[in-house]
Amino acid sequence: MKKSIMLLCSATLLAIPIAHAGETWKVKAAAQGTYLGYANSQFRDSLHEEGAVVSADYLDEGGITASYTHSEINFKNNIARIDQNAYFLSGRKHFYFDSVPGKITLRADGYVIDNNDSTNDTDNVRAFATQASFISHDKQYYTDFGYARSSYRNNLRVDQYTPTVGVALFDSAGWLQLRGYFIETSNPDRAQGLSSTQAAEVKYTHWLTPDSYLKPSNLQIGGLVGRRFYAVDLDAGSVANLADVQTGGITTGAEWNVGEHAKLLLLGGQNFYKNRTIGDSYSGAFGYLNISTAW
């Protein structure tokens, strides 16, 4: 499966010039990176990630997204570093009906993750996710429902359900999104004693009118309450296979237009974690950079 995803990523990249020439595709490419420094952890020191994303949409019919991310997590006490490669492929199809006042989208995602974890607990992860969404024609309200199943070595399967609602605010200058995470694990002994976790995530984006290069085009803030473990993030296209139980978090950020087609997104924040097996509660401050261009 990993080989197939790599071939599809390559095919997407090779198709970009053709798509541009046909003027029927909209293509977006991005480079992204994250640094996270842990505080008060008994064993974790830092994590950094670098990756690339390519997305292509054909008219208003559907599209495809492929990404690759390399991660390195460093530990204390001479514990060996974990190096990880993650591959993501997503396809979507839009549907329009005269009797429905909006657009319906069906989406399917595949994830392949490999690393050098000597315990094999986070290595050789395979995940599949589906999502059905609806957005009104005037883009005033949105809803979706997602399902993901992740398979881990050493006898663990994780099922996740994610209902989401979104609404436009302030004459469409703002967008508020709420998402629930309901996660069930097949083997509590492999999930720090947890058979299930629940969390709620809120995100708010407010658009501005940039009148200079220094003024951002939008501001963002978000937060998470509750607990989530082995979560699949459908917005980011990622699986939290390396993380302990997340017990909360807050994110802030801003995005700038760079020229006519490029954008620069900066996010920062603090997440909170707990390793229930050893009673280790700690936090992680992070920074995220995404530079994208579209044509």
- Supply angle C-alpha 132, 137, 143, rounded to 5: 30
Is the confidence at residue 12, as pLDDT, over 50?
no
pLDDT digit string, tens, across residues 101-126: 999 999 999 999 999 999 999 999 99
**How sure is the predictor about 1, in pLDDT bands with cuts at 50, 70 and 90?**
very low
Point out the least confidently predicted range of 3-7, 74-78, 230-234.
3-7
pLDDT reading at 29 higher than 90: yes
At 214, is the pLDDT very low, low, confident or very high (cuts 50, 70, 90)? Answer: confident
Q: What percent of the chain has pLDDT over 90?
A: 89
Break the chain down into helix, strand, coil percent, rounded to 5.
Answer: 10, 65, 25
Write out the two tokens for 288. 């995220």
Check: CB of residue 65 under 8 Å from CB of residue 58: no
pLDDT, residue 20, reads: 47
Q: What is the pLDDT of residue 133?
A: 98
In this prediction, residues 242-253 reach a mean pLDDT of 98
pTM, two decimals, is 0.90
- The predicted model gives 50-69 an average pLDDT of 97
189: Cβ–Cβ under 8 A, 6 or more apart, which residues?
none
pLDDT number for residue 212: 80
The pLDDT value recorded for residue 97 is 96
Can you tell me the mean pLDDT for 277-286?
97
Tell me what pLDDT residue 210 has: 80
Q: Which CATH class is domain 83-294?
A: mainly beta
Domain ranges of the chain: 83-294
pLDDT (average), residues 165-194? 97
Helix (H, G, I), strand (E, B) or coil at 20: helix
